[in-house]
Amino acid sequence: MKKTQRKPARADRQKGFTLLEAMISTVIVTVGLVGMIAVFAVAVSSTQTVQLDTLGRQKATEALESIYTARETAQITWAQIQNISGGGPGIFTAGLVALTDPGPDGLDGTADDVPASTITVPGPSGVLTGSTPPDVPIVLSNFKRQILITNTNNPDGTPNGNLRQITVTIQYPTPTGKQRSYTVQALISSYR
Q: Which carries the bigger pLDDT value, residue 17 or residue 89? A: 89
> Between β-strands 100-101 and 159-173, what pairing exists: parallel, antiparallel or unpaired?
unpaired
* Region class of 106: left (phi > 0), else alpha (psi between -120 and 50), else beta: left
DSSP three-state, residue 73: coil
Least confident of 46-60, 70-84, 122-136, 159-173: 122-136
Q: What is the pLDDT of residue 122?
A: 78
State percent of the chain over pLDDT 90.
41
Q: What is the pLDDT of residue 181?
A: 93
Tens-digit pLDDT profile for residues 101-149: 998 988 888 889 999 888 887 777 777 776 666 787 888 888 999 999 9
- Angle (nearest 5°) at CA 166 between 161 and 168: 165
User: Percentages helix, strand, coil for the chain, rounded to the nearest 5?
Assistant: 30, 25, 45
Tens-digit pLDDT profile for residues 23-35: 999 999 999 999 9
Rounded distance, CA 64 to CA 1, Å? 102
DSSP state of 138: E
- Beta partners for residue 187, in sequence order: 165
Judged against a pLDDT cut of 80, whether residue 178 lies above it is answered with yes
Q: What is the pLDDT of residue 9?
A: 57
Q: What is the pLDDT of residue 7?
A: 60
Rounded distance, CA 110 to CA 101, Å? 10
Rounded distance, CA 25 to CA 20, Å? 9
Q: Which carries the bigger pLDDT value, residue 5 or residue 88? A: 88
Rounded distance, CA 172 to CA 144, Å? 6
Q: What is the pLDDT of residue 64?
A: 93
The overall average pLDDT reported for the chain is 85
Q: How far is CA 22 from CA 18, 19, 29, 132, in A?
A: 6, 5, 11, 50
49 within 8 A of 180, measured Cβ to Cβ: yes
